[in-house]
Structure 1
Amino acid sequence: MKTEQGIALVDRDEDGVDRAFREDVLAGLSQRQKAIPARWLYDDAGSQLFEDITDLEEYYPTRAETEILEARGQEFARLIGPGRAVVEFGSGSSVKTPLLLNAIAPGAYVPLDISGDFLRQSAAALSEKFPGLNVHPVEADFMREVALPEDVLGMKKLGFFPGSTIGNMVARTAVDLLRSMRATLGAEEGETPQLLIGMDLVKDPEVLEAAYDDARGVTAQFNLNLARRINRELGGTIPVESLRHTAPWNDDFARIEMHLEATRDIAFKVAGRNFTMKRGETIHTENSHKFTRRSANTLLLAGGWTPIERWTDEAGRFSLILAEATEKRDAP
């Protein structure tokens, strides 16, 4: 395997601080309902904690998606075909990504991730499993259009977005991401890329709440790590010990909501600015929307993708959808 060192596309200031991270945190903490985009949960420590979450008994999505990938390899190979450059939005899982790569015989693999160290570790792990595959890790915020390495520009492309990350976004943000994926994968240049995307399904709220608030407290540490990251990278003084993790089901919006709730009145600084939280006030850190067949298809179509095949695990908990970029049309 040829493994490149990666292309760093994160915009950092003279102190090495990610400008977008600072802007999102300061803007989010200034809102009446404090909120920080979920992508900032995934620094190196957060990425490792999430990998730990995927092994928890309560967290079914990884097992369900892996079941689909193991069972449907021949169908993926038939519908996707060999030789595509697989562009994964988020560093690949040591379990799921190899299952796809084994099934479709890709021409190259391009993992995109905002966490550079974790990205390179994942790329190195893949290099041991696929010695003949060219890998081009790119450190970038995949929420925006990303310039791919020149070596893959002439290849047909498959976007791979496993897990349930698309559910972390409200509808307008998810649609924007799906459209930027089209652009990253070359649809704006007349190509017709494909996208294989995971979407979690609506189910019993007790099952959902347990998956996001596990008995061992790993998800709580994942959530609290965001406050630690703010303290470390943005000169924050958040009293982490005075925050607690909550993850209630919001039926009106068909989503689990993760929050950091203040257990007492607190005051702190971030990047030189003062903030306060009353007891019971929260920072909204993540949504995890759950989908029906109809809502999944509607979201994809709005983002410029036409679903062509859909698979679920045997228990009907999770879905993988293969979609194709639709022709660009003028907005109505």
Structure 2
Amino acid sequence: MMDLNNITLLNQVVDSGSFTQAATNLGMTKSTVSRKLAELEEHLGVKLITRSTRKLGLTQEGEIFYQASVKVLDIMQQTELELTANQNLIRGHLNLAMPVEIGHNVMSDYINSFLKHYPEVSINLEMTNREVDIIGDNIDLYVQIGEINDSSLVARTIDFSERIIVASPEYLNNYGYIQTPEDLQAPHHQIRVVNAVKVPNLYFNQVDKAIRVNLPYRLKVNTVTACKSACLSGLGIASLPEFICREHINNGELIRILPDWDLPRVAISLVFPQNKLLPKRLRAFIDHVLERFESKNAARK
């Protein structure tokens, strides 16, 4: 059976960057640290660390084992806290990732209020529109737009994003107003449609009617902010989240097209690995966000 103390030892060596410092931190001799690491490598049957006169490095197998050991030790620490008198103490580190616009416009207030409420927790927040590998990138929680198709992940829906079609007054004056979804496919619109991240078919719905429209594009970007900017400049028509456009519609910079037609709403979800025992700080963050969204949605009604 693997000795958990040797896992802790490996983490100390990696985190400190030297056997000497790890030995000091653990109250051991350098030779003892080296011997115990060799025992761990022998037990696993793989080399974990490469050593040179200047620095230490993890092998590919070592990196995989190290990332797993960080999670194991973290869960053990949280479990210990929950089973002791310190069970009310929530502390530690969270790695969060989310799309840029969701981070700026939706989640930032909730993250800030969480950190104020739990001063022993620290957060590394990556706002990105790249495709995130939650497990491979060691992400504790990702805010997902749309559905997930991964059985190793859990999704908790917190809200829905309403998408609308908009264009600038300049564009509509130059190229004509849109009366029906089919008008979007008119020849003079075809190379002037802009869309964010993906360029999917749009499904317009009314009570007794549904229409699918294929939107060609002239500009394809990976953020809705860039898409909105192009739309504001008169470049074309865009499908955007309503909350991104609200201010610009109110001040007349954008005009909502086809307001009597609905586009499918898109789920906004908290996504995290499917571990039976989540770190307490992660559970606290999820509960914090869910409670505030429930209050927000109740106030809308």
| TM norm. shorter chain > 0.5 | no
Q: Shorter-normalised TM-score: what interval?
A: under 0.3
TM-score (norm 1): 0.26
TM-score (norm 2): 0.28
Structure of greater Rg: 2
* Bigger share in helix: 2
